């Protein structure tokens, strides 16, 4: 039954097309206390930067209607400590490990990739779309020509399959996707969070120290779905869909519009054991619909 869900992206075999999204799942240690993370298709690590980061000050989390905003600011142990302390632990589990790499300077991206090349990570997910760092990430995610140059250099450096994570804040999501594909991206994941804002009316100030923060959760799903549909129609490389996925129906929607796999982030907070539940529901769906493989329904819309 399991092989109905087995999915290959850029030569990497996932036991199912359900991946824990970066930033919501740490390195898997905490959720592994609730269930065996080897069940998962893959884990995209907490966003890494070359040097450790303490992240943003002030409020980092704000619930919104059908969603939430975050402004964590890439707090992470840095690539070196990831390789020394987190990766060996993750590697003990039978799941695909995707190192999510962000940064401010292109030199830092390249150095990070050079370090990850020598490790047992299966893929690198290039975060060119974090809204919560003041320089770098975001501009890279907005302008297609800037993204093209950056992805080209990263691809030249990378010995691992390179998945590029797109921002919904891109000026034109189709041009952005095509630019990344032309620059050599092996696959794409989209969407990251939407740039958003909240006001603390009582104290008459912005909630977040950085003013703007990233919106995720069910609220963004219809827009994310539209963008994944548009991108899938306009590139040939595999696309991993994400943005507000909570239910089996959500997963099926993303696959039907063309996604090869999906990532689930915010829903983990709503329902801590959601990933094993969704995997089981997807297996059951394949049985009930008598599919030979989940890809039978991929891109049918």
3-state secondary structure (DSSP) of residue 82: helix
In terms of phi and psi (left: phi > 0; alpha: psi -120 to 50; beta: otherwise), the region of 126 is beta
Taking residues 212 to 251 in sequence order and writing x for each that binds another protein by CB under 8 A, - otherwise, the string is -----xx---------------------------------
The DSSP symbol for 36 reads -
- The DSSP element (H or E) to which 228 belongs, if any, is helix 221-234
CA distance 118 to 49: 16
The nearer residue to another protein, 7 or 216, going by C-beta atoms, is 216
Among the residue ranges 110-118, 227-235, 270-278, 288-296, the one whose residues contact another protein (CB under 8 A): 270-278
Among 8, 13, 34, 84, binds another protein (CB under 8 A): 34
State yes or no: residue 273 binds another protein (CB under 8 A).
Answer: yes
Residue 35's nearest CA partner among 273, 271, 248, 249 is 273
End-to-end CA distance of the chain: 25
Backbone angles phi, psi at 97, to 5 degrees: -110, 120
Contact between 171 and 142 under an 8 Å Cβ cutoff? The reply is yes
Q: Which of 15, 46, 155, 229 binds another protein (CB under 8 A)?
A: 46
Residues in contact with another protein, total (CB under 8 A)? 35
User: Quick one: which of 22, 70, 95, 253 contacts another protein (CB under 8 A)?
Assistant: 70
Provide the token pair at 76. Answer: 């992470």
Structural contact between residues 112 and 159, judged by C-beta atoms closer than 8 angstroms: no
- Binding residues among 126-165 for another protein as defined by CB under 8 A: none
Residue 126: CB minimum distance to another protein, A: 21
Can you tell me which of 8, 38, 57, 81 binds another protein, judged by CB under 8 A? 57
Closer Cβ to another protein, 68 or 259, answer by number: 68
Interface pick for another protein out of 5, 12, 24, 282 (rule CB under 8 A): 24
Q: In angstroms, give the least distance from the CB of 206 to another protein.
A: 15
Among 1, 3, 54, 292, binds another protein (CB under 8 A): 54
Catalytic residue annotation: 130
Beta strand 162-165 with 123-127 is parallel
């Amino acid at each position: 039954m399991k092989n109905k869900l087995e999915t290959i992206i850029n030569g990497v075999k996932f036991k199912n097309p359900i991946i824990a999204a970066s930033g919501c799942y740490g390195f898997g240690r905490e959720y592994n206390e609730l269930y065996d993370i080897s069940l998962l298709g893959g884990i995209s690590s907490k966003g890494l930067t070359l040097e450790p980061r303490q992240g943003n000050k002030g409020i980092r989390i704000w619930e919104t209607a059908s969603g939430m905003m975050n402004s964590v600011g890439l707090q992470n142990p840095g690539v070196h400590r990831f390789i020394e302390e987190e990766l060996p632990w993750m590697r003990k589990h039978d799941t695909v490990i995707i190192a999510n790499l962000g940064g401010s300077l292109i030199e830092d991206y390249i150095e990070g990739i050079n370090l990850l090349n020598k490790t047992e990570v299966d893929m690198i997910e290039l975060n060119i779309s974090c809204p919560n760092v003041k320089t770098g990430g975001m501009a890279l995610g907005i302008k297609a020509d800037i993204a093209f140059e950056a992805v080209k250099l990263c691809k030249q450096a990378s010995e691992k399959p390179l998945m590029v994570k797109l921002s919904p804040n891109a000026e034109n999501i189709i041009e952005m996707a095509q630019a990344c594909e032309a620059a050599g991206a092996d696959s794409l994941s989209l969407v990251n969070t939407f740039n958003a804002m909240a006001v603390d009316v009582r104290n008459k100030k912005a909630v977040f120290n950085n003013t703007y923060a990233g919106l995720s959760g069910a609220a963004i799903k219809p827009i994310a779905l539209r963008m994944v549909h548009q991108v899938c129609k306009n590139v040939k490389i595999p696309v991993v869909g994400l943005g507000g996925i909570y239910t089996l129906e959500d997963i099926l929607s993303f696959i039907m519009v063309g996604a090869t796999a999906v990532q689930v982030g915010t829903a983990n907070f709503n329902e801590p054991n959601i990933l094993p539940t969704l995997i089981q529901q997807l297996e059951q769906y394949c049985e009930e619909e008598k599919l030979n493989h989940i890809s039978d329904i991929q891109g049918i819309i």
